[in-house]
Chains A and B, each alone.
Chain A
Amino acid sequence: MLAPETTALASFRSVSYASAGDRLLSDIELTIARQGITTIMGPNGAGKSTLLRLLAGLLRPTSGTLTWHRPAGTGQIETAFVFQRPVILRRTVSANIRHAISPLKLPDAQASRRVDAALSDCSLEHLRDAPGRRLSGGEQQRLAMARALARQPDVLLLDEPTASLDPAATNAIEQIALACADKATKVVLVTHDAGQARRLSNDVIFLNAGRAVEHSPAAAFFNQPLSQPARDYLAGRITITDT
């Protein structure tokens, strides 16, 4: 199997999620590995963002369980979330980062070091004192990444972070995500961009109509998708599934 329990970070056991009577996710059985970049793919409305929000704790399963597996002796698993359209606070770039880590209640010197490191990791040093809302779309998304990195999360959750960015800005975000995964931070990425998924993924979860229809290593998924919905999706065919 892909992820033996010893290297598992989180597992979904018959997880369903419904909102206002709409069943958005049904009977999800998944194990997320501790390492690497896991990509969630699927057509619009398949439940990709919902799955990511469950991981972030922004939503709770309606039924079933989501279990985090902590190695013995470590604290709670911390996640950080980067939204497709980041909410940039009405303050400077560095103040945005400092605000993001304020709930961690770090000593002042340590907080400053984290802000500096995040600015440097996301190539934002020259914009440190610029008002966050004046930045370009790509810079704003780098700031959102910097805010997430400063929290030093165990898991970085990215919800279509490059959906509205140009290629250069997209590349910058991808490099930050790769660097993050190299430093043993787990990355879970929702994307529509098959090219991006090929460039970044270790494994791919394919969702269709609220169900996880496939979870394979990236190479296997792209060369020989097992399920018909995934084959259709990768071939660019629209499939309509009754739910």
Chain B
Amino acid sequence: MSEATQALYLAVELVISMDAGLVEIVLLSLQVSLLAVAVACAIGLPLGALLGIARFRGRRLLISINNALMGLPPVVVGLAVYLMLSRSGPFGVFGLLYTPTAMIIAQTLLVLPIVAALSRQTIEDLNAEYDEYLRSLDMRLAGRLKTLLWDGRASLATAAIAGLGRAIAEVGAVIIVGGNIDHVTRVMTTAIALETSKGDLALALALGLVLVTIALALNAAVEILRAGAERKLHAGA
């Protein structure tokens, strides 16, 4: 048996037996990325919605910046957060470097532009459709935002899932601010990088399998949401 097939065999065994080390890493990954997406949504959805409906000078520029930030390289975000959180940095006193909190902060910054840009687009389109009706109701800004965020919920969920896909698959940011410390800040992507360089291909492959499965499941969820939205929400429109 070649080295690769043997590693694959061991990897499948690790997944099926729910190896404790593997499960720990997967759970921490999910915890960090889900929290990062939750924070990014709490900030990004209202911000994107506001950018979608408000009219002010410099709006176009802000939208361009927002779109450009979607392509932010994770290592650069990691480096920036590192500088902020390191001992000599402005937030060094909190001692957050090399903790899961630092990883959540870094991933939140990565996901925020995606959530804001996608929700901006969604809300802007919906607002064009609803504008005259909402004006006829004398709906104020807060009520309008609430209406649009709720009625755009299917597309906004898609934006959140897209953000989760980016967070869970990136390695650059979390390895810099997390440090890949065993049992503390080791997540799937950093473990794969480390185990591969150490030559422990079985664990790396097992984690790779789980990661690919999660990524595929997220994409499937987006497709299902999108199809459901087309069918249900646009019927008769």
Interface positions of A (Cβ within 8 A of B): 56, 58, 79-81, 83, 86-91, 99-100, 102-103, 131, 133-137, 140, 151
Contact = CB atoms under 8 A, between A and B. Distances in A.
Q: Is the interface of A mostly helix, strand, loop or mixed?
A: mixed
B233 A81 contact: no
Contact of A90 (B136, B137, B139, B233): B233
Interface of B: 129-130, 132-133, 135-140, 143, 147, 150-151, 153-154, 232-237
Contacts of B233: 90, 131, 133
A103 B130 contact: no
A133 B236 contact: yes
Given A91-B150, A131-B235, 14 more contacts: A58-B135, A58-B136, A79-B136, A80-B136, A81-B133, A87-B130, A90-B151, A90-B153, A90-B154, A91-B151, A102-B139, A133-B234, A135-B236, A136-B236
Contacts of A133: 232-237
B17 to A, nearest CB: 45
A91 B232 CA distance: 10
A100 B135 CA distance: 11
B236 A89 contact: no
B129 A87 contact: yes
A88 B129 CA distance: 10
B147 A81 contact: no
A216 B138 CA distance: 32
22 contacts: A56-B136, A58-B132, A58-B135, A58-B136, A79-B136, A83-B132, A83-B133, A87-B129, A87-B130, A87-B132, A90-B233, A91-B150, A91-B151, A102-B143, A103-B138, A131-B232, A133-B237, A134-B232, A134-B235, A135-B236, A136-B236, A140-B236
Contacts of B234: 133
B147 A99 contact: yes
B139 A103 contact: yes
Contacts of A151: 137
B235 A87 contact: no
Nearest to A87: B133
Contacts of B140: 103
Contacts of B232: 131, 133-134
B129 A89 contact: no
Given A58-B132, A58-B135, A103-B137, A88 B237 contact: yes
Contacts of A100: 137
B45 to A, nearest CB: 16
B128 to A, nearest CB: 11
Contacts of A83: 132-133, 136
A100 B150 CA distance: 14
A143 to B, nearest CB: 11
Contacts of B136: 56, 58, 79-81, 83
Q: Counting chain A CB atoms within 10 Å of each CB, which of B130, B132, B136, B236 scores highest?
A: B136
Nearest to B232: A131
A88 B232 CA distance: 13
Contacts of A86: 133
Contacts of B153: 90
Which 10 residue pairs of A and B lie closest in terms of their CB atoms, listed nearest first?
A87-B133, A81-B136, A90-B151, A90-B233, A134-B235, A103-B138, A133-B235, A133-B236, A103-B139, A89-B151
A86 B140 CA distance: 20
B152 to A, nearest CB: 8
Contacts of B132: 58, 83, 87
A62 B210 CA distance: 65
Nearest to B135: A58
Nearest to B146: A102
Contacts of B151: 89-91
A20 B130 CA distance: 22
A124 to B, nearest CB: 15
A81 B130 CA distance: 13
A135 B235 CA distance: 8
B134 to A, nearest CB: 8
Nearest to A79: B136
A239 B151 CA distance: 44
Contacts of A103: 137-140, 143
A137 B236 contact: yes
A65 to B, nearest CB: 21
A88 B82 CA distance: 48
